[in-house]
Structure 1
Amino acid sequence: MARAPFAATAVSLPMGSQEVIQTAWNTKTRALPLAASAGALYAGRGFALATQAANIADAKLYVLSAGLGLVDINRQVPLYGLTVSGGHAESVAARVTDEFDAGAWFASLMSGAYSDQWGDAFGQGSGRVLIALTRPYAEMVGKSLNELGPQALARLRIFGASLASALPVTLAQSVAPYDDRLDAILPGTRADFSQRAMLHFVRLVATKRDAYDRDADYAAVEAAIGGVAAPDRPRRPRRNDAEIVQLILARLQTQSGIARILRALRDEEGVACEQSRFSRLYRVAVEQREVA
């Protein structure tokens, strides 16, 4: 996503209770200037895979936004910098002085200026509703999804790794049965696992079946990956932020381009670093280099 001005970031928020922070953020986003359509602000392989899946299925595409809610990619929105994931400067949880409730945060966003409602996605005439989630986002949207009626939930398919403990128990049956065997069929990174699984599902099932039988859908998935062995994953050393910034600075002496340097650190240095974290550290390294 394009870089947001300071006034549109979590860091610009005051410290306070979650209710205070929610009100402050919704007030702030309403006052921000519109920048572009939501779809134009997002980049990266995961978003590209989700877009590809939507195009194949001829389906409407939404972004699950930690700053704006459930956003139609064609909606005009402001730039912002906020996440619900921990360990980031942009994490809204760091501004909340009591215990952060990701589900309540998302409910607040859905009453904001830019969010659609689940009823819009599950509306009349829609078929299966496919949602690609990481654990932090599963914690954010699980409660509101769980409040949908049984007819809507029967059409819900969720894609992601290790989501069981992050979602309400009643949503476990909605999680498609993908695991590391997917890497042998549609390779990628842990960061884009959920989008890869969703794309595989669309190619395999969603365009070939008119009925929305969950058991039949999942049986087709199991048949596709059942005879496949998961590839061995290289064990990469975990580096702290300062170490990764130094590695990026060294690379910037002879290389340019965030994607190229990330790939080099993964393949040549064996560094484990999730893409959004690397993007943040890359910006830090570039700023340090400009000051030096």
Structure 2
Amino acid sequence: MLRILRRFDACILCRKGSPVSSFIRNRAFKGLAGAQLFMQKRAKYRSESKGSIIPNGVVITTCSHRKSAKPTHAATPSSLSHGNQSTVASQWITKVDGLPRCGAADSFYAGRAFGLAKEAANLSAARFYILSAGLGIVPGSRPIPAYGLTISPRHEQSVLRKILGDFDPADWFSSLLTSVHSDAWSDVASGKSGRILMALSRPYAEMVGASLANAPRRMLERLRIFGISLEAALPANLHAAIVPYDERLNAIFPGTRTDFAQRAMLHFVRSVAIKPSKGREDDFAAVRSSLKSLKAPPQVQRPRLTDEEIVAVIKRRLRMQSGAARMLAALRHEEGVACEQSRFGRLYRIAAAKKGM
């Protein structure tokens, strides 16, 4: 009954010729006109953005510890014999080349940093590559096996545990370029135009820098490298390609140090690469202009604990809560402890297993 009365009142108010109906029609017309104007502006913005996409550009990022499929024992360094670096590299390449493929590379890796890089590639309609410590230079669309390998010394899947003597990350990566899963730098540079955007962490810069420095000149001229504190890890002829982002980026695009390079690259795609490139210096001037009015947020200094100390904290907190994401947030913000996400995931599994025992 109440609904019927409301409809009746509305009919009376909107009756043709009444002052109230004129008011309602005028407001409705203005609202419709405003909505149409908004839609026209949004369509114009989208068309301008689409028109400025560089179709032959390239986006390159590092692989991640987080993966969508769990590798078998045979697809990790645990299955290798001990030996010098050359011997272990040969073992690994033979093994990984013979593994069954499980799906496209861009669907195998996970995590926030990888997701940001993938978004940058999608927005700029760019060819997408992943730098893998286990496979080499992998096109995002290429089917790859489910594997687990890292050069991080503290990780359970670290290949360093099998290598006797010194380890040279640059030589390791050069060996991977012979894998059937890897492209060469010349393949990456095969497009005739468009920027080549590369997000690097310092360990990956140390790993790929030597071979990248010898890449075709036409590639290096188009190269834009994103990351923090990379100069000491890269050969001198690559320093000019490092995009001048710094901690001020956190004021408009917050995140962690582990995803800084990918955040910077996505910001570049959204704000600078929407226009055709006039050269490296013009791009870098646009980046400096976008940061000049910003101030870096104050950094929270958290103490670093050993693996054993963090496991003890996690075990204690497991009595009160569960869930890795909530536990990591509590560790950082309540316990005030610094811990990288992939490291925490490994230690959380250890603590949970011990608690179960």
- Is this a same-fold pair by TM over 0.5? yes
CA-to-aligned-CA distance 1:163-197 (integer Å, 9 cap, x gap): 11101011111111111111111000111111111
Kindly name which structure, 1 or 2, has the bigger radius of gyration based on alpha carbons. Answer: 2
In 1, Cα distance between the equivalents of 2:188 and 2:148? 25
The normalised TM-score by structure 1 is: 0.94
In 2, Cα distance between the equivalents of 1:288 and 1:229? 44
User: Which amino acid in the other structure matches residue 28 of structure 1?
Assistant: K
User: Does residue 77 in structure 1 map to residue 144 in structure 2?
Assistant: yes
In 1, Cα distance between the equivalents of 2:78 and 2:228? 29
After the TM superposition, which residues 252-271 of structure 1 pair with which residues of structure 2 at under 5 Å, given as runs?
252-271=318-337
Partner of 1:199: 266
Partner of 1:39: 106
CA contact (8 A) 2:82 2:162 kept: yes
* SS of structure 1 residue aligned to 2:190: coil
In 2, Cα distance between the equivalents of 1:167 and 1:236? 28
Report deviation, 1:254: 4.1
User: Which amino acid in the other structure matches residue 249 of structure 1?
Assistant: K
In 1, Cα distance between the equivalents of 2:84 and 2:336? 41
Report deviation, 1:44: 1.0
CA-to-aligned-CA distance 1:172-224 (integer Å, 9 cap, x gap): 1111111111111100011111111111111111122x135000011111111
- Equivalent residues, number: 290
Report deviation, 1:101: 1.2
User: Which amino acid in the other structure matches residue 193 of structure 1?
Assistant: F
In 2, Cα distance between the equivalents of 1:252 and 1:28? 39
Q: 2:285 aligns with which of 219, 244, 257?
A: 219
User: Does residue 115 in structure 1 map to residue 182 in structure 2?
Assistant: yes
User: Does residue 86 in structure 1 map to residue 136 in structure 2?
Assistant: no
The normalised TM-score by structure 2 is: 0.78
Report deviation, 1:87: 2.5
* SS of structure 1 residue aligned to 2:127: coil
Q: 1:96 to 1:207 in 2, by over 3 A?
A: same
Partner of 2:227: 160
Partner of 1:10: 77
* SS of structure 2 residue aligned to 1:21: helix
User: Does residue 49 in structure 1 map to residue 116 in structure 2?
Assistant: yes
* SS of structure 2 residue aligned to 1:100: coil
Q: 1:60 to 1:250 in 2, by over 3 A?
A: farther
* SS of structure 2 residue aligned to 1:136: helix
Aligned-residue CA RMSD (Å): 1.5
Unaligned residue ranges in structure 1 (runs of 5+): none
In 2, Cα distance between the equivalents of 1:7 and 1:229? 49
Report deviation, 1:252: 3.4
User: Does residue 280 in structure 1 map to residue 346 in structure 2?
Assistant: yes
In 1, Cα distance between the equivalents of 2:124 and 2:318? 41
CA-to-aligned-CA distance 1:144-170 (integer Å, 9 cap, x gap): 110013221011011111111101011
In 2, Cα distance between the equivalents of 1:212 and 1:27? 44
User: Which amino acid in the other structure matches residue 178 of structure 1?
Assistant: Y
CA contact (8 A) 1:128 1:212 kept: no
Unaligned residue ranges in structure 2 (runs of 5+): 1-66
Q: 1:155 to 1:263 in 2, by over 3 A?
A: same
User: Does residue 127 in structure 1 map to residue 187 in structure 2?
Assistant: no
CA contact (8 A) 1:146 1:170 kept: yes
In 2, Cα distance between the equivalents of 1:154 and 1:98? 37
* SS of structure 1 residue aligned to 2:282: helix
